[in-house]
Structure 1
Amino acid sequence: MLDQDPNSLARRTASLRRAGELAGGERPFALITVVRTEPATSARIGDRAIVFADGTLDGWVGGGCIGPTARREAIAALEEGMPRLVRVTPDTAASQPGVRMARMTCASEGTADLYVEPFLPRPTLIVAGDSPVAATLAAIAPPLGFRLLMLDAGTQLSLGEVPYPQDSWMVVATFGEFDEDAVEAGVRLGLPYVGLLASARRAGQVLSGLRARGLGDGELAVVRSPAGLPLGTSGQEGISLSIMAEISSLRAESRPSFSERQERESTGEPDEAVDPVCGMAVEVACARDIFEHGGTHYYFCCSGCRRAFEEEPEKYLAQVSIR
């Protein structure tokens, strides 16, 4: 049953209002909604929170045991670009199709189902130049869902204009005018693709000039010339179509599949630790209570658990070994 407590209603309303303000903007975020619970848990059906790409959580979807899981799943949903249903439960063996299982480590042993919905900013197409191809790209990009940013010789490209560079794509269609400066700006901003419309000779000159400016071959690997897929088309419309097809293909490839992301997570550093005293999951990056024993760092949910461990570390390490 939906919690009608005025404070809870105010929290949910605030999260929805904030999500409405953020939607369609340039900052990626995920909206998490509690859709089901089993006692005992502090989460209530309808509780909501917003999680940003840096892990910042604004709102409420439960106590300290759920928070780290909510952050992790929100960031994963942003990477994948797909919503997900996550069950935080002490019984992760009882799996269900379409539901991701995450362990509840709190002593309360309740269950909470979280619906995690990512909101990503529109991809940005940066077009440098005022050539016919540039004009055609400017016409076809918005209907394909791209935010458009046009550059001329006097425009300075910055993170303020491109706040989400990992999904921003650049085409330099200046045909010899400020092409080296434009390509350099895109590369230094960390864009995944800088398409350069130029002859093979001119493209070589641009790349040589950029190497002289200190850019390495690894950085210049994002520069594509000739730009576009080989569709056999010609004219400004055909060239523009081939470029947008190439960008669309690269966007699809750059989004990690579930199996790839799972493999990356399994080989990376853990983002959670288990409090050896109470068994609670602790977010390593945000942990305040840390104690080193025998060359190993242990993380605690609170100072009380840390002090208890400091007094009798072997007692709690023995408990951990039999859990």
Structure 2
Amino acid sequence: MLDIADELNRWLAEGREFAVATVVSVGGSAPRGPGAALAVDSGGTVIGSVSGGCVEGAVYELCTAALRDGETVRERFGYSDADAFAVGLTCGGVIDVLVTPVGADSVSREVFRAALSTAARGGTAALARVVRGPSGLLGRALLVHPDGSHEGGLGGHPDLDRTAVAEAGALLDAGRTGTVGLSEDGSHCPGGITLLVESSVPPPRMIVFGAVDFAAALVRAGKFLGHHVTVCDARPVFATPARFPEADEVVVDWPHRYLRSTPTDERTVLCVLTHDVRFDVPLLTEALRMPVAFVGAMGSRRTHEDRNRRLREAGLGDRELSRLRSPIGLDLGARTPEETALSIAAEIIATRRGGTGAPLTGGTTPIHRALSDTAA
């Protein structure tokens, strides 16, 4: 649900009533993972998606029914071998969808309001909802903050809330969205319950080193992919907000010095476009020793070989050098800055999702890899 937080937060501010359908589990090949959502307001307006189009019509009907009768329901959709035109996922997967009405008197409306407001402004919190369990608890929600405090409740035994807060806090610390099963003893519910925990965390960082023409196109690609994008260059005449108006930050500093001082994490993407060993070598020496998601450097194959030699002389070994994506980008035959940015963005996605970068035509590997738990 938090993937459409901006729109839903606006709907709540306008006083709209709506029903939201959220993917709570996935089996096999499916285009969207847990947390993906579609919402329908009382006027029939639709936002979001749960399947990329396969079952949206049926989910729409479930949402309008939930608005009408006020009941939270869980529905499963899968491919029908008997009738290829039956409602289902033609990709062969199975998804479970929880449909929750959010009316003026909805028990969880204020929890949703707090969660959506936090996510819309880029804050940090985890929304935990009961997606399997007794009918009286289905859809109940609580919001967990980074300090361990929480809003709302699941409506069961006090230990249930304490356990849910602890489990949601663990997923929030990891920046992950996924499901958590609570046993009968832990949940005090016969048969136990399952929670869907959606983590809202600040967007991952992309730091582009080198204020060159290719960087402007990569900034746009990074923003399109949902990154907080910084451009860094030591040359003040090139590193200006006027040249990179879509960047969140433009920093004038020596790249390696800036990298040492700025926050990074395991989701951070570092793209080195400087083309100058004065910048490249000290920067990459720092970057390849950091636990970040992606380190790539632009340059020819000859430049790459010379750069590797210099990095070895700087003390890097095979393990660190194996993390370097150089020359950066997938082989798309790119020529223009925009095409090159697309090739770099494609490699970042492939690295994050475990893709091969090969054409899907004629392939045999799954198109949609494991989606049971996704990084936020």
* TM-score (ref. length: structure 2): 0.49
Alignment partners' CA distance in 2, 1:241 and 1:109? 50
Amino acid at match of 1:31: L
CA deviation profile, 1:35-73 (whole Å, cap 9, x unmatched): 78649x9x8974513165xx9564454533564466446
Deviation at 1:235, TM superposition (A): 3.0
Deviation at 1:32, TM superposition (A): 0.9
SS of the residue 2:332 aligns to: coil
The alignment status of 1:64 with 2:164, answered yes or no, reads no
Deviation at 1:158, TM superposition (A): 4.7
Alignment partners' CA distance in 2, 1:189 and 1:160? 12
1:203 to 304, 315, 334: 304
Deviation at 1:257, TM superposition (A): 2.5
Matches within 5 A, 1:169-318: 169-176=269-276, 177-253=278-354, 257=370
Asked if the contact 1:34/1:48 (under 8 Å) is kept, the reply is: no
The alignment status of 1:116 with 2:197, answered yes or no, reads yes
Asked if the contact 1:170/1:194 (under 8 Å) is kept, the reply is: yes
Amino acid at match of 1:197: M
SS of the residue 1:232 aligns to: coil
Gaps of 5+ in 1: 3-8, 87-100, 262-323
Deviation at 1:202, TM superposition (A): 2.7
Amino acid at match of 2:220: A
- Larger C-alpha radius of gyration, 1 or 2? 1
| Aligned counterpart, 1:105 | 185
Asked if the contact 1:195/1:223 (under 8 Å) is kept, the reply is: yes
* TM-score (ref. length: structure 1): 0.56
Asked if the contact 1:30/1:74 (under 8 Å) is kept, the reply is: yes
Identical amino acids, percent of aligned pairs: 24
Asked if the contact 2:131/2:194 (under 8 Å) is kept, the reply is: yes
CA deviation profile, 1:62-103 (whole Å, cap 9, x unmatched): 53356446644675698795554x6xxxxxxxxxxxxxx531
Distance 1:258 1:141, change over 3 A: closer
| Aligned counterpart, 2:212 | 131
Amino acid at match of 1:104: E
1:30 to 126, 132, 157: 126
Asked if the contact 1:195/1:227 (under 8 Å) is kept, the reply is: yes
Deviation at 1:229, TM superposition (A): 0.6
Distance 1:124 1:80, change over 3 A: closer
Alignment partners' CA distance in 2, 1:226 and 1:70? 45
Distance 1:77 1:258, change over 3 A: farther
The alignment status of 1:20 with 2:143, answered yes or no, reads no
Deviation at 1:19, TM superposition (A): 6.0
Alignment partners' CA distance in 2, 1:195 and 1:208? 16
Asked if the contact 1:78/1:119 (under 8 Å) is kept, the reply is: no
Amino acid at match of 2:370: S
C-alpha RMSD of matched pairs (Å): 4.2
Amino acid at match of 2:128: I
Gaps of 5+ in 2: 1-69, 72-105, 235-252, 356-367
Matches within 5 A, 1:135-154: 135-153=216-234, 154=253
Asked if the contact 1:162/1:168 (under 8 Å) is kept, the reply is: no
Amino acid at match of 1:210: L
SS of the residue 2:128 aligns to: strand
The structure with the greater share of residues assigned to helix is 1
Amino acid at match of 1:232: G
